[in-house]
Amino acid sequence: MIKPHASDDLKPLFVYDDAKRNALIVEAESLPSILISSAAAANAVMLGAGYFTPLSGYMNLADARSVAKILKTTDGLFWPVPIVNIVPSARGIEPGQRIALKDPNVENNPVIAVMEVDGIDIASDNEVSEIIEEIFGTLDKAHPGVAAFHALGNVFLSGPIHVLNFSYFEKDFPDTFRTAVEIREAISESGWEKVVAFQTRNPMHRAHEELCRMAMKDLNTDGILIHMLLGKLKPGDIPAYVRDAAIRKMVETYFPPNTVKITGYGFDMLYAGPREAVLHAVFRQNCGCTHLIVGRDHAGVGDYYGAFDAQTIFDTHVPKGALEIQIYRADHTAWSNKLNRVVMMRDAPDHKPEDFILLSGTKVRKMLSDGIAPPPEFSRPEVAQILMDYYKLQ
């Protein structure tokens, strides 16, 4: 099986030893505590689950700036996005202390991790802006990722963490949330050697379904990991439980048995386009995947990124040998009325726009809200019904 990123073994930071974890839970009651952001809590979940191997905790300001600028930590580890715990104030906290990190996303804010504070760095406004512009390619606060980062503050708490739980993800998504440890075990148990991952924060329509089939066929994989984001999204995006139901219905109805693993990961969407695509590749390698589908405007939002920037970044910013996982470069896929099947647009140069069935997201949402199923060439009827039932309640 493919090795984890920059490591021979996964390095999950969740404390699996029950006695040690219980001791930490007791210790946390007497430690100074701080309520962290949703972004920092999501980072803790990903660190705990092994997705962010080989990191041992949150980055300091120097590493965050280095990663933002050159996609490497100060000691040379290739990494595409700063993994940080930024707070508005660290009053009462000193380097060398152990502190309890409280989860903002669970009722009563239980402790999600115990942190050993190695450093407390206060970033200037210019340093924060530089980091944001490097990650997102813009300083426009209309960009949801930029707005979320700006709201965090400017105090960087760095150091290793010991993760005590996986926030709300295990409870809310017991059939779907899986750690990188569990996914690697499942892939190994299935005897899969070549595995392609499909990233999604949306329900899967017919074009997504066929794209997965194309990738599996072209790469001759043993199976596909459909890996959905379960964390925070921007307003208007379809919630995870609805996506989960729709994807499961599609897979059980239209894919052969034992060819698809449906899983989810506990992270908040960054909407960072190209940088987030590289992060997606890193943690899919940690899951044991050999390939990742990177499509048009992967992890993008609005018009902030070029259609294929998330593919070209692997040529321009990922040094040779930095990652073992490979990407499958996908074009926009749509139903061809000429060929009576879903195709990648680049493979149909003789087509005009009217030869495809193309529906905007706005139009699809309007149809679903009105109880009108999109055409079956666009969305499987079983999937459309789940989405219409959801919109009926809005």
Q: Where are the domains of the chain?
A: 18-167, 176-265+271-392
195-216 pLDDT, tens digit each? 999 999 999 999 999 999 999 9
Q: Per the CATH hierarchy, to which homologous superfamily does domain 176-265+271-392 belong?
A: HUPs (3.40.50.620)
The residue annotated as part of the active site, out of 21, 98, 201, 248, is 201
Rounded-to-integer distance, Cα 87 and Cα 237, Å:
27
- Pull the structure tokens for residue 8: 């021979």
Q: Which of 118, 120, 116, 85 is nearest to 98 (CA)?
A: 116
User: For residue 88, is the peptide bond before it cis, meaning its omega torsion is within 30 degrees of 0?
Assistant: no
* DSSP 8-state code for residue 326: E
- Give me the architecture of the 18-167 domain, per CATH: Roll (3.10)
- Could you tell me the CA-to-CA distances from 87 to 35, 67, 291, 322 in Å, in that order? 9, 19, 35, 31
Q: Indicate if 43 belongs to the active site.
A: no
On whether the CB atoms of residues 189 and 288 are closer than 8 A, the answer is no
Overall pTM surpassing 0.95 (yes/no): yes
Q: What is the pLDDT of residue 218?
A: 98
Plot region of 136 (φ>0 → left; ψ -120 to 50 → alpha; else → beta): alpha
Question: What is the share, in percent, of the chain residues with pLDDT greater than 90?
Answer: 97
The phi and psi torsions of 327 (rounded to 5 degrees) equal -105, 145
Residues of the chain with pLDDT under 50: none
Q: What per-residue string of b and e applies to 65-101 under the rule 16 or more CB within 10 Å gives b?
A: bbbbeebbbeeebbbbbbbbbbbeebeebeeeebbbb
Plot region of 379 (φ>0 → left; ψ -120 to 50 → alpha; else → beta): beta
Q: What is the pLDDT of residue 362?
A: 84
Rounded-to-integer distance, Cα 215 and Cα 251, Å:
16
Q: What is the pLDDT of residue 394?
A: 86
Q: What is the pLDDT of residue 237?
A: 86
331-350 pLDDT, tens digit each? 999 999 999 999 999 999 99
Residue 119's CB: how many other CB atoms inside 10 A?
16
The residue annotated as part of the active site, out of 21, 98, 154, 202, is 202
State the residue for tokens 């402790």.
Answer: 111
Rounded-to-integer distance, Cα 54 and Cα 46, Å:
11
Q: What is the pLDDT of residue 234?
A: 85
Rounded-to-integer distance, Cα 272 and Cα 276, Å:
5
On whether the CB atoms of residues 114 and 98 are closer than 8 A, the answer is yes
β-pairing, 155-163 with 86-87? antiparallel
Q: Indicate if 184 belongs to the active site.
A: no
162-171 pLDDT, tens digit each? 999 999 999 9
